[in-house]
Amino acid sequence: MKDVDGAVPGNGHALVELFARLREANGNPSLTVIASRIPSRGKKNAARSYLSEIFRGRKFPSGDRAEAIALALLASDRDVDQARFLAESARERSGPDTAGGGEPTGAGRYEREVQGFLDFYTAVFVGRDRELTEILAATAHSDGRYVIVEAPAGYGKSALAAQLIVRHRARGWPGRQPNLIYYLVRQDGERNTAEAFYSAVNSQLQDLLREAMTVNQDARQRFRELWSRAAAEARSGRPLILLVDGLDEVAPSGTAIVDLLPTDTGRHVSVIVTSRPSPDVTSRVPLDHPLRRGIRLSLGDFDEPEIAMLLRHFGSQHVSEREVRRILKVTRGQPLFARFVTEDVAAGNAYVLAAMADHPPAGVSEYFSWQISQLTSAADRTITWDALALLVATRGPISRPDLAGALGWSADRAARALRPIERFLIGRNQVELMHREMRRAIASHLPADSCPE
């Protein structure tokens, strides 16, 4: 599996796995017991919490310390040497005792993986106050429930999910700060598989429960165990919420993420999911699944206030009612259109309104097709097309240097190629197309043999 920087998982991660394996082989002693076996000059409590950080991959020990931990776990000479080597090389790359540094493990790894999405979606966010209030009220209720946020493509389900995550991270969740476990399902980059889901949520649950990582345990079984323990600890002052965005992003074969959702919501335990309305996600689960009794919430069109807010956000100095109404008419208040058209208008490209009024796109896919066809007219945009073709083919994130390398370009040339489509890209260092419909739209403009679909 690749890590977020495209490198193989680093030595810090391997070290955590090695310790987990040794601990299991040693009958899973508690951290206090392990700490008591390590000669230490400091306080035992400090040693225990330090060990906890190490076992969760948050800190990397020195080579000596790693050796002492391995010995406390009755490791073979070979494993002791291995622990020393892994610790030293992890510290070399990320600095001593850093919180994961350049190669986070566990929940930190997933946090970093989704950072690009959160940046993209929270760069601009307007409205949805009522929906946010309703979600927060439903999840604050002592009888935890499923909440199903439904809306067609491009209506802002992922944008709303990103809001919930960043508000939670900023401890800006009104009322009681819950424990939030989240997963963003995406077709691209194989983030719609059971493996990817379990890896992300299990690491967050482990972190929450201050558990060390385990190896050799079935991920599904591990999820069940961790979830029910986290649920048992939920209380009114600290509810537990699982947030899963994009349940409709089903892998063509294999398990759908909806089939993995917990069936034990309950006191102070809720699950928020988002999905396109058709097909109805609830129809996939058994009749007695709590998802079927979920509270449904729809995201509607934007209205004048949201259009005006978007224009202001993108720098319009004088927002006239006439202009707002015109944009509303052309975009029909569809959030994705509204977001990009207001940006065009605020940048002085008002011709976009006339062009869209002449050929109103029926949906997100057609809108992207239209955007893409604008590129075909400019001969000097050939390099942008090459970059687009590569982004379609990679079907997931690629670093800017890798993109340049794959096309035999300088970093400068790659930057020039990406500039016209930068606003449709997610991620700063690792980039990918913002929307799967965009990938489809681009693919349909490419010669049939140059794209994977």
Ligand X SMILES: Nc1ncnc2c1ncn2[C@@H]1O[C@H](COP(=O)(O)OP(=O)(O)OP(=O)(O)O)[C@@H](O)[C@H]1O
Name the residues that contact ligand X, by CB under 6 A: 121, 124-128, 151, 153-159, 246, 276, 335-336, 339, 435
155 binds, among ligand X, Mg ion, none (CB under 5 to 8 A by kind): ligand X
397 binds, among Mg ion, ligand X, none (CB under 5 to 8 A by kind): none
Query: Closer CB to ligand X, residue 230 or residue 338?
Result: 338
H or E element: which one contains 181? strand 179-184
CB of 157 to ligand X, least distance (A): 4
CB of 438 to ligand X, least distance (A): 10
**Six token digits for residue 452:** 């994977």
Question: How far is Cα 380 from Cα 378, in angstroms, rounded to an integer?
Answer: 6
Closest CA to 183 of 227, 134, 213, 233: 227
Q: Residue length, the chain?
A: 453
Q: Sheet of 398-399: strands edge to edge?
A: 398-399, 430-433, 425-426
- Residue whose Cβ sits closest to ligand X: 156
CB of 116 to Mg ion, least distance (A): 14
Query: Closer CB to ligand X, residue 207 or residue 437?
Result: 437
Query: Closer CB to ligand X, residue 227 or residue 367?
Result: 367
The DSSP output letter for 74 is T
Query: Closer CB to ligand X, residue 191 or residue 276?
Result: 276
CB of 154 to ligand X, least distance (A): 4
Question: How far is Cα 201 from Cα 20, in angstroms, rounded to an integer?
Answer: 18
Question: How far is Cα 224 from Cα 269, in angstroms, rounded to an integer?
Answer: 14
- Identify any residues that bridge with 430 across adjacent strands, giving them in sequence order: 399
128 binds, among Mg ion, ligand X, none (CB under 5 to 8 A by kind): ligand X
Distances (CA, A) of 238 to 132, 263, 392, 406: 19, 20, 42, 48
CB of 157 to Mg ion, least distance (A): 5
Q: Do 445 and 376 meet the contact criterion of CB atoms below 8 Å apart?
A: yes
Query: Closer CB to Mg ion, residue 65 or residue 157?
Result: 157
CB of 128 to ligand X, least distance (A): 5
335 binds, among ligand X, Mg ion, none (CB under 5 to 8 A by kind): ligand X
Question: How far is Cα 150 from Cα 157, in angstroms, rounded to an integer?
Answer: 7
Q: What three-state secondary structure class fits 148?
A: strand
Alpha helices in 395-435 (DSSP H): 400-407, 411-418
Count the neighbouring beta carbons within 10 Å of the beta carbon of residue 198.
20
User: Amino acid letter at 62?
Assistant: S
Closest CA to 164 of 180, 151, 146, 175: 180
**Six token digits for residue 425:** 């890209």
Query: Scanning the structure block, which residue is given the tokens 């929940």?
Result: 107
Task: Quote the crossing angle between the two packed helices 400-407 and 411-418, to the nearest 10°.
Answer: 100
Query: Closer CB to ligand X, residue 106 or residue 154?
Result: 154
CB of 410 to ligand X, least distance (A): 30
395 binds, among Mg ion, ligand X, none (CB under 5 to 8 A by kind): none
The binding site for Mg ion (CB under 5 A) comprises 157-158, 246
CB of 133 to Mg ion, least distance (A): 21
Q: Do 388 and 421 meet the contact criterion of CB atoms below 8 Å apart?
A: yes
CB of 190 to ligand X, least distance (A): 16
Query: Closer CB to Mg ion, residue 22 or residue 135?
Result: 135
CB of 120 to ligand X, least distance (A): 7
Query: Closer CB to ligand X, residue 102 or residue 300?
Result: 300
Q: Which residues contact 32 (CB under 8 A, 6 or more apart)?
A: 44, 48
CA-atom Rg of the chain in angstroms: 24
Query: Closer CB to ligand X, residue 57 or residue 335?
Result: 335
Query: Closer CB to ligand X, residue 126 or residue 404?
Result: 126
Query: Scanning the structure block, which residue is given the tokens 């201050």?
Result: 210
Question: How far is Cα 282 from Cα 279, in angstroms, rounded to an integer?
Answer: 9
166 binds, among Mg ion, ligand X, none (CB under 5 to 8 A by kind): none
